[in-house]
Amino acid sequence: MQPTITDTVTAAWKAAWDEGDVDALDAIVTADYQRESTGTKKVTGLAELKQEVLDVRAAFPDLTTRIDKVIASGDDVAIFWTTTGTFTQPLRGVPPTGGVVETRGSNALTLRDGRIAYERVTWDSAELLADLGVPSLGSAFEEAPDVVVDNLSGNLPSDVMKGFNRQFITGVTVVTTVDDEGRPRGLAANSYASISLDPPLVLVCVQKTSSTYPALFQSSHLGINILSNDQLGTVRTFASKAPDKFADLEWHAGPHGTPLIDGSAASLEAEIKERFQAKTHTIFVGRVRHAEVGEAHPMVYKAGHFFDGARLEEL
């Protein structure tokens, strides 16, 4: 009996996704094959599909796909599937979490002469990461035009953005965690914000190039220490790339093992709930599990300078 189009597509797909034999896809698509992601609206071709298969398989070496249902009607075919795998290698710059994901998707295929000419997919590697708790804000940025400030270039000059930020006064925190060898790690950050009191949610934005970032990304908890006016040395250490920033520091572990810096104005330990990918940074959202509020006055940061939070003049 002749194999049906469903059999041919399913076999090539499993060869590509489950075994990495991406060239098996050549036989089932037309020369002008196009693939649209319904999430990002991006349209790509066969080369990008092959690369995506290879990238996802590299990140999830045990990836397996189950075809749940195929519905064919003339030249229209819909495939419903479930994929499982363990996130063990980086994907799209996201460090592996070791988590197991089970993700579901569907492809709507349009056939021409028995080959796939066009397919609409409810899934891509960004969706996979979202299923792992690492949603990306990337597509929103790509679609949004830059804010026009000079009417000519349409781009916001970075010195304007810097100038804007210099007008914003914040405290200074040290964001802490432990790495996979149990060593305390941390960096200075003023991107802390309280999201809500009930539930007690906080956020902090961390640059992916930070040496603390991989440990932070893989941690279940993070610490946020609001520095006091007595900790100028501490902020300088944590804004540096010093190999052991905790060497000359008094600190203690919170109930979930996160380093909390002694003498801080306040410290908290939060369970990491979301890791939003925002281009160069990750926005960590945490649910606060423990907090310590001290007597010391906070340090104040404005335009690259540190000030004494005990000597503020009320308006």
Q: Smaller CB distance to ligand FMN: residue 87 or 192?
A: 192
Q: Smaller CB distance to ligand FMN: residue 66 or 236?
A: 236
Q: What stretches of 144-302 show up as alpha helix (H) in DSSP? A: 158-166, 213-218, 232-238
Q: Smaller CB distance to ligand FMN: residue 89 or 207?
A: 207
- Find the helix or strand (DSSP H, E) in which 10 lies: helix 5-19
Least distance from ligand FMN to the Cβ atom of residue 271, Å:
20
Largest separation between any pair of C-alpha atoms in the chain: 87
Least distance from ligand FMN to the Cβ atom of residue 205, Å:
5
Least distance from ligand FMN to the Cβ atom of residue 229, Å:
14
d(CA 281, CA 78): 37
Least distance from ligand FMN to the Cβ atom of residue 206, Å:
4
Task: Single out the residue of 173, 36, 204, 181 nearest to residue 108, CA to CA.
Answer: 36
d(CA 137, CA 202): 18
Q: Smaller CB distance to ligand FMN: residue 79 or 174?
A: 174
Q: Smaller CB distance to ligand FMN: residue 77 or 224?
A: 224
Least distance from ligand FMN to the Cβ atom of residue 83, Å:
33
Q: Smaller CB distance to ligand FMN: residue 128 or 174?
A: 174
3-state DSSP assignment of residue 47:
helix
**10 Å Cβ neighbour count for 93?**
10
Q: Smaller CB distance to ligand FMN: residue 65 or 190?
A: 190
Question: Is 130 in contact with 136 (CB distance < 8 Å)?
Answer: yes
Least distance from ligand FMN to the Cβ atom of residue 238, Å:
6
Name the β-bridge partners of 73: 76
Interface ranges with ligand FMN (CB under 6 A): 172, 187-191, 205-207, 210-212, 239-241, 301
Q: Smaller CB distance to ligand FMN: residue 145 or 182?
A: 182
Least distance from ligand FMN to the Cβ atom of residue 86, Å:
27
**10 Å Cβ neighbour count for 144?**
8
- Find the helix or strand (DSSP H, E) in which 107 lies: strand 100-112
Least distance from ligand FMN to the Cβ atom of residue 171, Å:
9
Distances (CA, A) of 100 to 61, 63, 151, 279: 12, 10, 48, 24
Question: Is 171 in contact with 228 (CB distance < 8 Å)?
Answer: no
Helices 5-19 + 46-59 axis angle, to 10:
50
